[in-house]
Amino acid sequence: MRHDRPRHDPAEVARLAVQRRVIATKRVVAWLVNHDYDAVETMIEVLTGIEAHGNWVGSAALKNGEVADEYVVACSDEDWYVKFYVDGDQVVVNVWSCCWDGAVH
């Protein structure tokens, strides 16, 4: 199911990211580490850049039933694709994808 507007407030996402309230899938962490990035710091940089440098590309239902927002974010001379949702129970940003835009992972 696609949605016509972002489901999660970019300012709230940035606030949670600054507080380091971010979790990610093993695949996301492995991709970042394998490309010589500090996984936590990179996700924080990308998530805090959404409001100023992000372009929302859509929202999609995940297999776990949550709705994730998808953005392309200009960050550190790269365009990054990020897919996430805010987990209301844990009040964290749950990152399902974070890589260069167009990269296979």
pTM: 0.89
Number of domains, the chain: 1
22 Rama class: left (phi>0) / alpha (psi -120 to 50) / beta = beta
- Residue 74 belongs to some domain of the structure: yes
- Residue 44 belongs to some domain of the structure: yes
| Residues constituting the chain | 105
Q: CB-hemisphere CA count at 13 Å for 88?
A: 6
Residue 3: what pLDDT?
Answer: 61
- Residue 5 belongs to some domain of the structure: no
- Residue 105 belongs to some domain of the structure: no
- Residue 92 belongs to some domain of the structure: yes
CA distance 74 to 78: 6
Residue 38's CATH number: 3.30.2310.40
- Residue 30 belongs to some domain of the structure: yes
Dump pLDDT digits (tens) for 44-103: 999 999 999 999 999 988 888 889 999 999 998 899 999 999 988 778 888 888 888 877
